[in-house]
Amino acid sequence: MDINDLETVINPFFWTEHEKSVSVCLYVGEYKTEIFLAREEEGFEGNGYDWASLAHVFLEEQKPELIDIVRFDPEGSMFCAYSSDAEALKTFIISFKEACENENLIQDLFSRAELD
| The model's pTM | 0.95
Using an 8 Å Cβ cutoff, are 79 and 28 in contact?
yes
* pLDDT tens digits for range 41-88: 999 999 999 999 999 999 999 999 999 999 999 999 999 999 999 999
Residue 92: count of CB within 10 angstroms of its CB:
22
Question: What is the phi/psi pair of residue 18, to 5°?
Answer: -115, 180
CB atoms near residue 24 (< 10 Å): 23
Is the pLDDT assigned to residue 112 strictly greater than 90? Answer: yes
Confidence of residue 20 (pLDDT cuts 50, 70, 90): very high
For position 1, what pLDDT does the model report? 73
